[in-house]
Amino acid sequence: MAIDPKGIVGEAAYEVANLLCNPMPDLLSRPNPLQLIRRRMDQLAEGLGFDRERIAGWGIAQAVLSSWWAYEDHEEGWEYWIRCAELIRQASRPTSRPSHRI
């Protein structure tokens, strides 16, 4: 309560979605941010037992909301959040793997 005295009641996957786009803005300058986000989603889903699609959905929602807040306040950085939302959407798609036929 000392860190976030407001507190919220809701879906737990909402809380972990912030981890997908941080640290800001350094995430997008990393060698492969898409792979990094995909790995984070996998780790969160596996480690916490959360549905991967819910993590992705909340991540997109939070990124778009952050973008809007920055835009509305005439701050720089709204593009960063939109790019994160796009990457989360891409990361939420199943990766195509070659099929091995016998």
Name residues whose C-beta falls within 8 Å of residue 44's C-beta, 6 or more positions apart in sequence. Answer: 16, 19, 50, 52, 55
Considering only CA atoms, which of 53, 55, 66 is closest in space to residue 20? Answer: 55
Q: How high is the pLDDT of residue 26?
A: 86
Average the pLDDT over 6-32 and give the result. Answer: 84
Tell me how far apart the alpha carbons of residues 74 and 12 are, in angstroms, rounded to a whole number.
31
Specify the pLDDT at position 15: 85
When pLDDT is averaged across residues 1-7 and rounded to a whole number, the result is 62
Residue type, 84: C
Question: Taking the domains of the chain in order of start, what are their residue ranges?
Answer: 12-92
Q: What is the pLDDT of residue 85?
A: 95
> pLDDT at residue 22 above 90?
no
Higher-pLDDT residue of 101 and 65 is: 65
Q: What pLDDT score was predicted for residue 91?
A: 94
* Share of residues in the chain with pLDDT > 70 (%): 84
* 4 CA to centre of own chain: 20
| Structure confidence at residue 3 (pLDDT) | 65
- Mean pLDDT to the nearest integer, 67-76: 88
